[in-house]
Amino acid sequence: MKYYVLFGPPGAGKGTQATAMVEKYNLHHISTGALLRKEIAAGTELGLQAKALIEKGCLVPDEVVEGMIENEFKNVTGVDGFLLDGFPRTLPQAEALDNILTKTSEEVTATVSIMIPDAMIMERIKGRAIKEGRADDASEDIINNRIATYHNQTEPLIEYYRKTRKYHEIDGAGTIEEVRDRIFSVMDKF
């Protein structure tokens, strides 16, 4: 089984590229936001815990998200691997993912990081706000906070995965097809 981690700053095109990656390599896409919504809709114990926290305006703790991801690994069949999108975002989450995979003698296959400069992040997110009517993408203060959060919390994962030689950086500038080709040229090696 293959386990890919997809990350990059907001607006890098992760969602756009994930669809093609899943299709070409027969992967199950695990987006933490979608996973939370699925568990809540199904009324699972983890979903009920998450719903209660979200309704109070609290963040869902890592342990709950990790439990949901572990359940996906155990219960999804008929795929050649998993594409994790939105997890891990912090070093403790990366360590937790390693611990989950170690239980079944597995490990992260590769990390695919789509990188774009901060100015392009701002441009893309503002464009998305207009195109998709996303209010959370319209404010420069919110966008700047999301960029800062990415740099402070997620960028340390670059070094974490570099040390294991599982980090693969993709230039996210260019057309969707150009970026996709760059991603595929890395993933074809696995």
Q: What share of the chain is helix, strand, coil (3-state, %, to 5)?
A: 60, 15, 25
Give the separation between CA 20 and CA 100, rounded to whole angstroms: 26
The tokens for 123 are 């441009």
36: alpha, beta or left? (left if phi > 0; alpha if psi -120 to 50): alpha
Q: What is the pTM of this model?
A: 0.85
CATH 3.40.50.300 fits 2-183, yes or no: yes
Tens of pLDDT, residue by residue, the chain (190 residues):
999 999 888 889 998 999 999 999 999 999 887 888 888 899 988 888 888 887 777 777 888 889 989 999 999 999 999 999 989 988 999 999 999 999 999 999 999 999 999 889 888 888 876 777 766 566 788 788 888 888 888 889 999 999 999 999 999 999 999 999 999 999 999 9
The residues pairing with 167 across neighbouring beta strands, listed in sequence order, are 111
CB 82 within 8 A of CB 1: yes
Active-site positions?
14, 89, 128, 134, 146
